[in-house]
Amino acid sequence: MKNSTLKLALMSAGLFSAANVTAAAIPDAYVPNVDVYGSIRLGADYIDAGVEDDGANGRDFLSRIGVKVSGEVSPGLTAVGVVEYGIREENIVDFVQNKGPTLRLAFIGLKGNFGEVYFGSQTNVFHKYLRTSYFSDGLDTIRQGSVRDDDLLQYYYNEGKFSFGASVMMEGQDGDSLDQYQLGGQYTDGPVKLQVAWSKDNRGDNKGNLYGIRGWWNVTDKITLSAFHHYADDQYDIYGGSLTGTVRLRDAEFEGNKNALNPCRTESRTSSAIYASYRTGPHQIHAKYALDACDVSGDVKAVKVEYAHHFSKRFRMWTAVEAFNNDEGRAPTTASGKDFTQVQAGARFDF
């Protein structure tokens, strides 16, 4: 405990010393910029899983609205604050009238020549480098880790073709002052981009590791290829199996979130995928084949294809289908068989 606290104190002191923060009064000329942004993503999906409540359901696909405030507080030093809320219900699927919004982001920080330092509820390093979604709904089903975490202290630095990120998480007064560490990096050279990241679970008795790598290749101005590989050892359990996506097989109001994938906690696990996109004018068709393999429980295979029509940079409509094939040990407990399908359609307006 004492060593963790000392590490945190030294890290914080070093970062803020590097920021060259002074106690000088803020000049009146430094007026902050206030930007309101958002993304409205609504539609519907149809689940065919062989259960009695198969059918269509209205969906929110990660809509959000936020405010970003930034302003120069001394020469070369800019303060940043962000608050962002989602509009979906607590069951992470539906949009419901007269229900409260759900917090997505709330952080504050500084940026300058030294890089960027932020603290609060944020998108984490592993997601920033390795988990960003390929598809319009933002809900890629097979991948490991998490999108956002609370109580994160994060640092980012960009120099030419290189980018670097580091973070520590201090969530909950539970005896573990530092619950997780993450490191990530990116190298870009023309049409090729390589990304790597690492997450260290430092919470509880099991202190495992999650590693990942992803590559991108813009073959032409119309064709993009990508692939990733994630590996978690059998001690990595900070996210309880770290499953994502919300292909829901049962109504969460009655049974909780019965999702398409069963986790394989306490087993080593790999998640891999290949992706291709072709776009000409407003038309885009892209597809992904993914394999999620647990050491004992077995595999899940998924194929997803989407067509998106981009009316502009900010507005698109899409339709997609994703088919799953699960081994017996990974079959959802609520499905009548191992195979099932999700069909979705939606519209997305970013501003």
Tens of pLDDT along the chain (351 residues)?
Answer: 445 444 544 454 554 454 444 444 455 556 789 999 999 999 998 888 777 777 888 888 889 999 999 999 989 999 999 999 998 776 666 677 767 688 999 999 999 999 999 999 999 999 999 988 899 988 888 888 888 899 999 999 999 999 999 999 987 666 667 889 999 999 999 999 999 999 999 887 888 999 999 999 999 999 999 999 999 999 998 877 655 555 665 544 544 455 667 778 888 999 999 999 999 999 999 999 999 999 998 999 999 999 999 999 999 999 999 998 888 888 776 666 677 888 999 999 999
Which residues, 6 or more positions from 61, have their beta carbon under 8 angstroms from its beta carbon?
Answer: 41, 42, 43, 136, 137, 138, 139, 346, 348
Alpha helix (H) residue ranges in 64-183: 125-130
Q: What is the largest CA-CA distance in the chain?
A: 67
Instruction: Calculate the CA 117 to chain-centre distance.
Output: 19
Q: Are 131 and 184 in contact (CB under 8 A)?
A: no
Name the one residue in this structure whose structure tokens are 């999108």.
147
pLDDT of 170 reads 87
Domain 2-350 has CATH 3.40.50.10710: no
Which residues, 6 or more positions from 221, have their beta carbon under 8 angstroms from its beta carbon?
Answer: none
Query: Where in 10-161 does DSSP place strands (E)?
Result: 33-48, 55-60, 64-74, 77-86, 102-112, 115-123, 148-159
Enclosing H/E stretch for 4: helix 2-18
- Per domain, the residue ranges of the chain are 2-350
pLDDT of 101 reads 82
Look up residue 138 and give its DSSP letter: S
174, with CB counted inside 10 A (0-12, 13-18, 19+), is exposed
Look up residue 142 and give its DSSP letter: S
Shortest CA distance to 182 belongs to which of 214, 143, 146?
A: 146
pTM here is: 0.84
Q: Are 163 and 156 in contact (CB under 8 A)?
A: yes
pLDDT of 177 reads 75
